Amino acid sequence: MSWFDESRLDDELALGAADLRLRTLAESGARVRREAGDADQAIAEVVARSQEQARPRAVIAAGPDSRLLRAVLEPWCPVPFVAWPGQALPGWAGSLDLVVVLAPDGGDTGTASAVAEAVRRGCQVVAACPPGSIVAEHAAGRWSTILPTTTSDQLATAVVMLTYLHQIGLGPSAPPEEVAESLDAVATACSPHRDLAVNPAKMLAIALADANPLVWGGSVLAARAARRVAESIRRASGRTALAGDAEHLLPVIEAARPRDVFDDPFSDDGGELRPMLLVLDDGADDIVLREHRGRLRAAADQRGVRVETVSSEAGCEVARYASLLLSGTYASEYLRLGLIEG
């Protein structure tokens, strides 16, 4: 059984033990800047070459990291777009198509296999990966370009690829500096050196400590951030954390036992972990999202389920996604820090 000691969130010794993980989060913005700077020349070269070619018939995002590109590009890309996370390519892929690959560490053999197949079929291939990696080696070909990366950061690698796709008119704007600034803002607000009373990630960790979180994001990117945040909470705590659409989370909220104000939190049966609704709000506001958000909040109010909201007002949608994801990840690390097995 574990219990949560919130005093550890402001304890220098406890924070020192988590310094490596927290420092890695704090450097998220710097990694985006580094990757964008290192790949700038390669992007310029492949963009110049693209101007001499016809627009691709379709864009295929290959490899297991393709889902983030799908979340960004599917609503925007002016040509057919497909994410293909397996080890092969669609049977129709050929020389008229563009294959883009995110391989942050470059060592995935399945991704390397998909890249080799793309080269064999004569596809135009653009891979964001470390030079000299197994993916880069398999991408060698006349119509291939490597966008060099070094940090193994999936988000930073995705920003590099999105910069290229935007410049050739196949993706929305995702300025690296704007994404980096949004990450820096979260790192400042959630810094371990900021007191519990003014630190949103530490406050969220306290709310998560006695709950089974239900994480909801309304837009496509916010929903992806919700899944990633739920994963980080599970890794940090070993507890249940669910992310899903409103129709998946509503039954869980509606099945919660109504809160009794007379419950003794210190009794043997008073330590039940109740659901908590965590809303990731990236500013998307259409009629369907408002309806889903309203149903979730109404059900939570009826059953006495706590609701917490993490929001972002960053400029572009990728920056808002990055902000939500980093905020939730910081909270997960503070949750890990405060939990004590006993």
pLDDT at position 285, please?
A: 84
Residue 220 dihedral angles phi and psi, to the nearest 5°: -60, -45
DSSP assignment letter at 304: T
For the chain, the average pLDDT equals 92
Whether 115 is covered by a domain: the verdict is yes
Residue 116 shares a structural domain with residue 163: yes
Task: Let me know if residue 312 belongs to a domain.
Answer: yes
Query: Does residue 214 fall inside a structural domain?
Result: yes
CA distance 42 to 65: 21
Q: What is the DSSP letter of 55?
A: P
Query: Is residue 63 a part of any domain in this protein?
Result: yes
DSSP one-letter string for 141-205: STTEEEEE--S--HHHHHHHHHHHHHHTTSS----HHHHHHHHHHHHHHT-TTS-GGG-HHHHHH
- Percent of the chain predicted with pLDDT > 70: 96
Domain assignment present for 185: no
Tell me the per-residue pLDDT of 57-107, one tens digit each, with 9 for 90 and over: 999 999 888 889 999 998 899 999 999 887 789 999 999 999 999 999 999
Bridge partners (DSSP) of residue 280 are 217, 310
Q: What is the pLDDT of residue 3?
A: 86
Distances (CA, A) of 244 to 201, 247, 280, 291, 318: 22, 8, 12, 16, 20
Instruction: Out of 129, 147, 174, pick the residue that ends a domain.
Output: 174
- CATH number of residue 104's parent domain: 3.40.50.10490
> Average pLDDT, stretch 154-162?
96
Q: Give the residue-averaged pLDDT of 158-185.
A: 96
- Residues 199, 252, single domain; the answer is yes
For residues 13-31, average pLDDT:
95
Query: Averaged over 176-195, what is the pLDDT?
Result: 97
Closest to 78 measured CA to CA, from 52, 54, 57: 57
Report the domain count for the chain.
Answer: 2
pTM (two decimals): 0.93
Same domain, 43 and 158: yes
Is residue 161 in some structural domain?
Answer: yes
Residue-wise pLDDT for 269-284, tens only, equals 445 789 999 999 999 8
Residues 250 and 337 in one domain: yes
Residue closest to 318 by CA, chosen among 225, 212, 236, 218: 225
In-domain check, residue 182 = no
- Which domain range does residue 154 map to? 30-174
Categorise residue 5: left if φ over 0, alpha if ψ from -120 to 50, beta otherwise.
beta
d(C-alpha 93, C-alpha 73), whole Å: 18
